[in-house]
Structure 1
Amino acid sequence: MALVATVFVVVLALVAGSAWWRLQGNISRIDVSGDLATDRPTAAAGPLNILLIGSDTRVEQDATDAEDLVGARSDTTLVVHLSADRSEVTVVSIPRDSMVRMPPNCDASVPKDEWPVQQFNAAFSLGGPACLINTVEADTGLYLNHFAVVDFTGFKGMVDALGGVPVCTPVAIDDEKAHLKLAAGTHVLNGTQALGYVRVRYTEGDGSDLGRIERQQAFLSSVVQEATRTSLLLRPDKLYGFLDAATKALTTDKQLSVGTMKDIATSVKDVGVENVAFVTVPVRTYPEDPNRVEWTEAADTLWQALLDDESVTKKTTSTPTASAKALTVSPADVPEVVIVNGTGVDGLAGQDAEMLRVQGFPQVLTGTTDERRDGVLVEYPPGQKEAARTVAAAFPGARLKRSSDTGSSIRVTVGPGSKAVVEVPNRLGSDPVPSPSITAPAAQSSIEARTADEDICS
């Protein structure tokens, strides 16, 4: 829920100086640096990852540690990924019933191969933000730049400041625990009703956390649409009430000041609602407990996409990017190509290498990797983009990525779901490309995402 607050802080510059400092003083900040693992992932230059935690507890203002948050429940955990060029925002929901590796007793000094598998939402209750950060970073490989805990009471004020938020429910809701009763159809909810709506679980749908996450994502889409529709940014009277409620609901790390929020918000102010995507970590039933879930192989694909700063929306990931314009580098002038087999199927890289050699690529080597990433990724060193485009033209749907880790070579990683090599438009020689006898396995799973501009009833 804090995503919206963060985005709209960009207009704080329009607020009078005294109001600025009032908003600054609303936020509680705590220092968790001393409790974070010493072997954290490396922070990528450009992308930004923010951990958002929906909780029922808020620490006192000017707090200096996280002790007051230990024991609090984390109903909702989101990882918000801002792309390096700030053209896209991806919001990933992590099911609280996920069984994941977690530091024992939240002690991150214990070697990771000794971490037990525990229920995900226990991390925040046992050790506050630091334990949750250590858990998420270890299990995803992402570096989390900031965190923010959003108190549900403040969340109600944010909704009321918007004048209510429309929701669409296909079936009637009557949930005593959530204190919510709605007929089927579209409703405009006030803050109290909205809080009940995003927390409904047991009396709507299949009663799972996954159904609740779907409603939360639809609700967040509605919030973004409503703020856009009402021109909130151009209404200082309504905007201040929203920001006041939003900042009162926040507990953050020491570095996430209002000024930092403003800088972040400024960087994404031109992101359209169609470029805000909501994704749920792909899961399946946990074998040892049918009431719990575990992450699937597709979750690895999701986290890798964020590590590579790639879009997760289907309209982007399904679009071939190999050769949108004429190729300018002949196969004969392409430097060494290394085809890495990431499918687990023997012989695929060698087959693809021969299909390139017959087209005039002079140096083609092969290798293997245990990493499973759907599709084909073509990585190239600085200055070799055009040569990489010639290589990528042979692999339908290939993605291009500049990398400093390939030396002077162009590296092609072939994964599940990859298609057979095709002729490049500027190929050399006339010998036919051999027919493939080895095929890649099916893609592990697609990543389902909804964008903020979708119909809230969908």
Structure 2
Amino acid sequence: MTQPLRSRRRATHRIGAEKADPAESAGGGRAAMRRAGKKSDRRRALKIVGLLLGFVLVLGVGTAAYAYWKLNGNIKSDDLSANGKDGAGREKVDAFGRSPINILVIGSDARSSAADCKLGGACEEAGGARADVEMIVHISADRSNATVMSIPRDLRTDWSGCHDSGHPSMPAQINAAINSALNGGPGCSVVAVHQLTGIPIDHFMMIDFAGVVAMSNAVGGTPVCVSKDVYDPYSHLKLKQGSHILKGDAALEFVRTRHGFGDASDSRGRTDAQHIFLNALLNQMKSKGTLSSPEKVWGIANAATKALTVDNSLDSPNKLIDLALDLNKVPAGRITWATMQTQDIDLPGGGSKTVIAPGAKEMFKTIADDQSLTASAGKKGSPSATAGPVSAASVAVHVENGTGVYHRGAAIAQVLIDQGFSKETDSGNGTPSTATTSLTYPAGQKAQAQAVAEALGLPSKVVEQGTGSQIVLLIGADWTTGDTFPGGKPTPAHVDTQVALKGSNQRTGDSKECAQVSTYGDVIGLDADGMPTSSDHAHSSTSPTEAYALAKNVKDSAP
């Protein structure tokens, strides 16, 4: 029996949501619905795949550096931040002076060229621009791991507004859809995402959809598999259970399918399919057959650079090459794909809105602090799933004030709690007029004490094993002010990566998992041409697998 559609997927009532697909709206004949639905679906498909394929270009063609020198004239650039040099944040360097890299990848629905209008259609109706797909690509300072985090397009959030030369000004935004920030230019999307996450943004890459079809064909097709037969009449994707090589329209249909996979939602079902497709395409790009073919590499590079807008610091082929080489240092098994945690809240007057959910702040912190998520993204029960540094949330500290400064112990205890240490951390009075600060720990808790010391910038010489049953920080006269020990260089405490990933639908880059076909019913029935006979999702009863069996007159998207 097919499960009922959940209220959080009522896209036609969601605040700030896109205009619903014609096939999902009441009224109008089926013929008109079919024509309008195909135009809307193709428009959304192209902008999403433009994002994915442009991103893969940067990940996959570092070894084809020679080609970029001929492509300089294709690249368009813009300001990184709409609010000046600090609007995107600043990276923290590690102990060796190395810095991580964070790239905001944006898929735009703007009709900024004749080619975009021809491919996307509905230019008369389109106004401004929206970032329908956003991904933060994080490459660690030591280039050993990476995280790709998707931000659902309908997420509601606040940001300070944007004032970037050459783009419309935007006042401060309260409870606005994050995809609307692109109306203020790509630098405004950078500001909105940075203020949402606290993650510094070093670069952006914005992709249009003019070269999408040529690029998907240039790579020779992308291998994917699906767990069951699937047919989504709104995206037109129809695949039999098993493995397929997707090219052209089939690739477009796969990555924009909303009703076909997972929980059949924009924030989970579709982003998960995008991760599977993009990961497979990246691995395909890195394969010997692709990178050893100058013709294939040139076709991909030429199409992608025509579709790219980047920040001003990436405005030449050699700069893109340097970035590609950094990205290519990361093995596939050390890349974590995830979607930030969101939840849909029902509104009193009907409908719902998408907001940040528990766990998202932990995910943001792991990325901002350059903490690898790969170990926790592995299979449960494997050694890699339990390996890694101490989690701050499991460490409670008793802070004693020996300075004579009122409330000093409580202040430092709160600093630790704010950094993610256990909320059982407390404070009390220590020996009056203590000269030097010390940190003692019980047997077996050296690693936990070191985590505390690193978070506060304490030197190793003050950390020693004690005789008590808990970790005790005694603050002396050598530390009467400030959150960090004088002269110390604090290292951010590690959050629990299992918490950071919970509910994020994560996977690693070496995963061979098939796309999981949705079990939810999204259409009542199909006509002879495979189109839904009703848009009443409240009483849906046909799953994508059932729809496949009913759509006998519809050709499969791929063999």
Cα deviation for residue 48 of structure 1 reads 1.2
Distance 1:34 1:395, change over 3 A: same
Q: Determine the structure 2 residue equivalent to 1:228.
A: 286
Asked if 1:264 is matched to 2:323, the reply is yes
Cα deviation for residue 152 of structure 1 reads 2.9
Q: Determine the structure 1 residue equivalent to 2:275.
A: 217
Q: Determine the structure 2 residue equivalent to 1:24.
A: 72
Counterpart Cα distance in 2 of 1:119 and 1:219: 26
TM-score (norm. length: structure 1)? 0.70
Secondary structure, aligned partner of 2:275: helix
Amino acid at match of 1:4: V
RMSD of aligned residue pairs (Cα, Å): 4.2
**Alignment map for 1:218-367 (pairs within 5 Å):** 218-257=276-315, 258-288=317-347, 291-313=352-374, 314=376, 315=378, 318-321=386-389, 340-342=416-418, 347-349=424-426, 363-364=438-439
Structure whose CA Rg is larger: 2
Counterpart Cα distance in 2 of 1:215 and 1:350: 49
Of residues 100, 105, 110 in structure 2, which corresponds to 1:47? Answer: 100
Cα deviation for residue 309 of structure 1 reads 0.6
Alpha-carbon contact 2:109-2:130 (below 8 Å) kept: yes
Alpha-carbon contact 1:377-1:414 (below 8 Å) kept: yes
Alpha-carbon contact 2:454-2:493 (below 8 Å) kept: no
Q: Greater CA deviation, 213-222 or 241-250?
A: 241-250
Higher RCO, Cα 8 Å, sep 6+: 2
Alpha-carbon contact 1:219-1:456 (below 8 Å) kept: no
Alpha-carbon contact 1:341-1:349 (below 8 Å) kept: no
Secondary structure, aligned partner of 2:354: strand
Cα deviation for residue 58 of structure 1 reads 6.5
Secondary structure, aligned partner of 1:142: coil
Q: Determine the structure 2 residue equivalent to 1:452.
A: 509
Amino acid at match of 1:306: I
Q: How many residues align?
A: 382
Q: Determine the structure 1 residue equivalent to 2:143.
A: 86
Secondary structure, aligned partner of 2:205: strand
Distance 1:365 1:35, change over 3 A: same
Q: Greater CA deviation, 159-168 or 232-241?
A: 232-241
Of residues 162, 183, 187 in structure 1, which corresponds to 2:240? Answer: 183
Counterpart Cα distance in 2 of 1:377 and 1:317: 23
Counterpart Cα distance in 1 of 2:421 and 2:171: 24
Instruction: Report % sequence identity.
Output: 29
Distance 1:60 1:21, change over 3 A: farther
Q: Greater CA deviation, 36-45 or 202-211?
A: 36-45
Secondary structure, aligned partner of 1:90: strand
Q: Which runs of 5+ in 2 are unaligned?
A: 1-51, 94-98, 115-125, 165-169, 379-383, 391-408, 431-435, 442-450, 472-482, 516-559
Distance 1:24 1:8, change over 3 A: farther
Counterpart Cα distance in 2 of 1:222 and 1:233: 15
Distance 1:390 1:187, change over 3 A: farther
Cα deviation for residue 27 of structure 1 reads 1.9
Distance 1:234 1:36, change over 3 A: same
Cα deviation for residue 378 of structure 1 reads 5.2
Q: Deviations over 1:253-291 (max 9, x none)?
A: 222121111111222332211112111101122343754
Q: Determine the structure 1 residue equivalent to 2:55.
A: 3
Q: Deviations over 1:42-96 (max 9, x none)?
A: 34341111111123447469xxxxxxx9723432111111111112121110011
Alpha-carbon contact 2:363-2:500 (below 8 Å) kept: no
Secondary structure, aligned partner of 1:116: strand
Cα deviation for residue 115 of structure 1 reads 3.9
Amino acid at match of 2:101: L
Asked if 1:208 is matched to 2:284, the reply is no
Distance 1:405 1:85, change over 3 A: farther
**Alignment map for 1:120-131 (pairs within 5 Å):** 120-124=178-182, 126-131=183-188
Cα deviation for residue 163 of structure 1 reads 0.5
Alpha-carbon contact 1:178-1:199 (below 8 Å) kept: yes
Q: Determine the structure 1 residue equivalent to 2:486.
A: 407
Alpha-carbon contact 1:156-1:192 (below 8 Å) kept: yes
Alpha-carbon contact 2:333-2:510 (below 8 Å) kept: yes
Counterpart Cα distance in 2 of 1:407 and 1:297: 35
Amino acid at match of 2:215: M
Distance 1:58 1:346, change over 3 A: closer
Q: Determine the structure 2 residue equivalent to 1:379.
A: 454
TM-score (norm. length: structure 2)? 0.59
